[in-house]
């Protein structure tokens, strides 16, 4: 089982080859070395993104209060433990690192950095249904309550101020968006996700299964981690009219695995959308019901934070940060006409252009990485993309996916 995560890991992941002779372990470092301070390194320092790496899951959390990293709100520390053990855990709930795909060493084999894969400990509020997990691989820090990061986490409060000033480059302020990053293409075919790292013709660099056939695919950064991960919405195309039973299954970790977040929001027939509506780096849920937009700033069930109309029933909703101000806004596609608006409110379009049309689907993305979302059209595996929001031809085109694919865009800041 250990090899599964490695094989299916995203192409951007470089797994450490476990060469014991090269590893620097805590016992080789002085007692005052950071590798011996008792704490595990941050995921962002090891993996470039502030989320658990593939092959790990959150096993517990604590919070610190009173620092400036989360705009005056609590800052949460979550431990990512290795998620599969090839040996048993006994009564401890944790196995030795040699039974996992992670080894124990100082981060970057440097005594001046904290350790990874060494500490066998579970704080115990998350994924308690997993009786046996490996040691702590790394820590995530976030302004999102852990139970909005992983639905299995309880809200039982644990407070520790000892780590209040632990930090790593790129983590703070934690409410500064880790993106934007240039869009990369993905397609969902059946329940198989295919991800590619560049806007060029070719096959997938990562391929894995998530969700079931008929789910609506989305990708977003659901925790301001610096990477867009997969999500599906179930019952959007069929279900009992009037029931609030659209089911959202969202991953916080790259690649395949069980969904960390499971939410109910919306009704059958609604079209799901994802965006950073308030510009805090966290992409959150929304639905379009006819021409009514119902958007939330948190990934939890409940009343919408925005409720307005834009476009006409029958239009295809699209979202993007058209003006590059860090906040996602709205649009409708009607045939080959794109009507885009910068505000989350009713009113006329700020952009009105023609692009694409005919067979296929609209697709949006920040193709050139300038912070502004551009337009695109996907037709049977042919992607045509355009950066400017006025009528004109494609700036580029490439082939990826096929006629059975639904296009999605993702991105990663490292
Ligand atoms: Ca947000
Ligand atoms: Ca915007
Ligand atoms: Ca752009």
Which ligand places an atom closest to the C-alpha of 373? 3
- Output the CA 321–ligand 2 centroid distance in Å: 4
* Cα–Cα dist 192/188, whole Å: 6
Ligand 3 centroid distance, CA of 351 (Å): 15
CA of 26 to the centre of ligand 1 (A): 39
Rounded to whole angstroms, the Cα distance separating 375 from 371 reads: 13
Ligand nearest to the CA of 370: 3
Residues 100, 134: Cα–Cα separation, whole Å? 6
Where does 105-260 show beta strands of DSSP type E?
Answer: 105-106, 115-116, 136-142, 184-189, 192-195, 206-209, 216-220, 229-234, 247-250
Among the bound ligands, the one closest to the CA of 276 = 1
What is the distance in A from the centroid of ligand 2 to the CA of 371? 9
Distance from the CA of 89 to the center of ligand 3, in angstroms? Answer: 49
The two three-digit tokens of residue 2, written as one number: 């250990």
Q: How far apart are CA 401 and CA 404, in angstroms?
A: 8
State the ligand closest to the CA atom of 385. Answer: 3
Task: Give the tokens for residue 131.
Answer: 């009786």
- Sign of dihedral through CA atoms 175, 180, 181, 183? positive
CA of 364 to the centre of ligand 3 (A): 10
- From the CA of 274, how far away is ligand 2's center (Å)? 14
Compute the distance from residue 369 Cα to the ligand 3 centre, in Å.
Answer: 5
Mean pLDDT by 10-residue block, N- to C-terminus, for the chain (414 residues)? Answer: 40 52 87 95 94 95 84 91 94 93 94 96 92 96 95 88 77 83 96 96 96 95 96 84 85 95 94 97 97 97 97 97 98 98 98 96 96 98 98 98 96 86
Q: Are 329 and 346 in contact (CB under 8 A)?
A: no
Cα–Cα dist 104/284, whole Å: 35
The CA 277 to ligand 1 mean position distance, Å, reads 5
- How remote is the CA of residue 372 from the centroid of ligand 2, in Å? 8
Residue 299 CA to ligand 2 centre (angstroms): 20
- Of the listed ligands, the closest to the CA of 298 is 1
| 3-state SS class at 188 | strand
Cα of 216 to ligand 1 centre, how many Å? 21
User: Which residues is 369 bridged to in the sheet?
Assistant: none
Ligand that lies nearest to the alpha carbon of residue 387, given by its number in the listed order: 3
Give the number of the ligand closest to the Cα of residue 320: 2
Question: What predicted TM-score, i.e. pTM, was given to this entire model?
Answer: 0.93
297 CA from centroid of ligand 1 (Å):
5
Tell how far the Cα of 375 is from the centroid of ligand 3, in angstroms: 9
- The pLDDT assigned to 22 comes to 72
Ligand nearest to the CA of 299: 1
Question: How much is the pLDDT for 10?
Answer: 52
């Amino acid at each position: 089982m250990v090899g599964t995560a490695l094989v299916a890991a995203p192409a951007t992941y470089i797994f450490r080859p476990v060469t014991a002779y090269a590893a620097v372990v805590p016992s080789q470092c002085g007692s005052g070395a950071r590798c011996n301070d008792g704490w595990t390194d941050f995921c962002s320092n090891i993996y470039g993104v502030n989320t658990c790496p593939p092959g790990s899951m959150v096993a517990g959390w604590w919070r610190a209060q009173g620092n400036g990293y989360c705009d005056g709100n609590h800052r949460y520390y979550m431990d990512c433990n290795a998620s599969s053990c090839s040996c048993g855990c006994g009564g401890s709930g944790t196995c030795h690192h040699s039974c996992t795909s992670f080894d124990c060493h100082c981060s970057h084999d440097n005594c001046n950095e904290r350790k990874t894969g060494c500490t066998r400990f579970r704080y115990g509020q998350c994924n308690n249904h997993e009786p046996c997990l490996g040691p702590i691989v790394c820590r995530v820090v976030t302004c999102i309550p852990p139970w909005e990061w992983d639905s299995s986490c309880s809200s039982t409060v644990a407070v520790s101020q000892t780590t209040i000033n632990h930090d790593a480059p790129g983590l703070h302020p934690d409410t500064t968006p880790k993106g934007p990053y240039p869009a990369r293409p993905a397609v969902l075919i059946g329940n198989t996700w295919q991800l590619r790292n560049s806007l060029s013709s070719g096959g997938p660099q990562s391929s894995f299964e998530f969700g079931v056939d008929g789910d609506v695919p989305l990708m977003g950064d659901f925790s301001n981690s610096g990477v867009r991960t997969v999500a599906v919405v179930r019952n959007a195309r069929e279900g009992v009219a009037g029931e609030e039973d659209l089911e959202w299954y969202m991953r916080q970790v790259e690649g395949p695995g069980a969904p960390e977040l499971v939410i109910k929001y919306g009704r059958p027939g609604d079209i799901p959308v994802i965006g950073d509506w308030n510009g805090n780096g966290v992409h959150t849920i929304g639905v379009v019901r006819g021409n009514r937009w119902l958007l939330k700033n948190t990934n939890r069930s409940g009343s919408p934070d925005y409720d307005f109309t834009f476009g006409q029933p029958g239009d295809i909703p699209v979202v993007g940060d058209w003006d590059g101000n860090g906040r996602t806004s709205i649009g409708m596609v009607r045939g080959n006409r794109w009507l885009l608006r910068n505000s989350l409110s009713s009113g006329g379009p700020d952009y009105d252009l023609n692009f694409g049309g005919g067979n296929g689907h609209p697709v949006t993305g920040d193709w050139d990485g300038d912070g502004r979302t551009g337009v695109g059209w996907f037709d049977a595996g042919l992607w045509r993309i355009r950066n400017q929001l006025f009528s004109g031809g494609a700036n580029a085109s490439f082939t990826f996916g096929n006629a059975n694919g639904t296009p999605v865009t993702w991105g990663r800041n490292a």
